[in-house]
C-alpha cells in the first residue's frame, strides 16, 4: 500500500449497534492527521458492506466470525510500511478529535513504550478501571461471580490499581483493549494478537508480549475516552465459555501467577 499515513486504525465488527459504530468511525475520521480506517466485518452475510465506507475507510469482509484478535490481525501486513501508529479500536467508543494527536505526541517522547492508552469512562462519566495487574485465576473467578466480590474486594481493588493515583501517568501491567495506540513497528514485531484466542484475554496476552520484547505500556489519564462496555460474558452463556476457554489458554501459556 502506497502513500504512508500517520495513523491507521482497525475495528472488528460482529452484530454491533450500527449507530454506535457510526459514531466511533466519525470520531476517528475527525482526527486532524493523515489516516486510514480498516473495518473488518466478521458477519457471514457481510452486513456492514456499503454502509460505512469513505475515502479514508477500507472495508474487509471476512464472511465468518474469526474473533476479535484474529480480525485485527488481518491488516497487520497492510500497515507494516503504511502507518507510523496503529489504533486498536472498539466499535463502541467516543472521543474528541484532538485526542489521538495528543496521545501520539506523548508516545513519541518515550523510546521504551510500545503502546499508549487514555483514561476510560462509562457514558455516565464513571471511571472504568482499564489499568490492571495481570490476573490470577482466582481473581477472574471472583470477577465472573459477582456474589463473591464483597468477600474478596481487596483482590479486585489490587488488580485494578486502587493503591495508585489513577490520575497520574504510569506503566501498568496491562490495559484493557478497547483503545490501544501502538507504534506500528512494534505491533508488527509481535505479530499482533495471539490467534489462539477467539474472544477475551487477547488484550492481556498482547501486553505480556510487549513485556517479552522489553517494551512498556503507558497509561495517560490526562486524556479520556467514553466506552460503553457491554460485559457480554457475564450475561451470555456462550460468551462465558469463550472467556473460560481463553483464560485456560492464557494461564497455560504464561503460568498461574
Question: Is 168 a residue whose pLDDT tops 70?
Answer: yes
pTM for the model: 0.95
Residue 256's pLDDT band (boundaries 50, 70, 90)?
Answer: confident
Mean pLDDT over residues 39-51, rounded? Answer: 96
Q: What is the pLDDT of residues 195-212, one digit of tens each?
A: 999 999 999 999 999 999
pLDDT at 3: 73
Mean pLDDT over residues 66-85, rounded? Answer: 97
Q: What is the pLDDT of residues 9-23, one digit of tens each?
A: 999 999 999 999 999
pLDDT at 229: 78
Q: What is the pLDDT of residues 213-241, one digit of tens each?
A: 999 999 999 999 999 977 555 557 888 89
CA distance 172 to 224: 16
Instruction: List the domains of the chain with CATH numbers.
Output: 5-254 (3.90.550.10)
Amino acid at each position: 500500500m502506497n502513500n504512508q499515513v500517520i495513523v491507521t486504525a482497525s475495528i472488528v465488527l460482529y452484530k454491533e449497534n450500527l449507530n454506535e459504530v457510526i459514531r466511533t468511525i466519525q470520531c476517528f475520521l475527525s482526527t486532524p492527521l493523515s489516516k486510514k480506517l480498516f473495518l473488518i466485518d466478521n458477519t457471514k452475510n457481510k452486513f456492514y458492506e456499503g454502509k460505512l465506507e469513505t475515502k479514508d475507510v477500507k472495508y474487509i469482509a471476512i464472511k465468518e466470525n474469526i474473533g476479535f484478535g484474529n480480525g485485527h490481525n488481518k491488516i497487520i501486513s497492510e500497515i507494516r510500511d503504511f502507518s507510523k501508529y496503529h489504533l486498536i479500536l472498539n466499535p463502541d467508543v467516543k472521543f474528541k478529535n484532538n485526542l489521538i494527536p495528543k496521545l501520539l505526541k506523548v508516545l513519541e517522547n518515550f523510546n521504551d513504550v510500545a503502546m499508549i492508552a487514555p483514561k476510560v469512562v462509562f457514558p455516565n462519566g464513571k471511571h472504568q478501571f482499564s489499568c490492571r495487574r495481570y490476573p490470577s485465576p482466582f481473581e477472574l473467578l471472583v470477577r465472573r461471580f459477582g456474589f463473591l466480590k464483597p468477600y474478596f474486594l481487596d483482590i479486585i481493588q489490587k488488580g485494578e490499581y486502587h493503591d495508585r493515583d489513577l490520575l497520574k501517568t504510569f506503566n501498568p501491567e496491562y490495559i484493557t483493549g478497547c483503545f490501544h495506540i501502538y507504534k506500528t513497528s512494534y505491533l508488527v514485531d509481535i505479530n499482533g494478537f495471539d490467534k489462539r484466542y477467539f474472544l477475551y484475554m487477547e488484550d492481556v496476552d498482547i501486553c505480556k508480549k510487549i513485556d517479552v520484547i522489553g517494551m512498556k505500556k503507558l497509561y495517560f489519564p490526562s486524556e479520556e475516552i467514553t466506552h460503553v462496555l457491554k460485559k457480554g460474558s457475564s450475561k451470555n452463556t456462550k460468551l462465558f465459555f469463550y472467556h473460560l476457554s481463553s483464560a485456560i489458554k492464557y494461564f497455560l501459556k504464561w503460568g498461574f501467577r
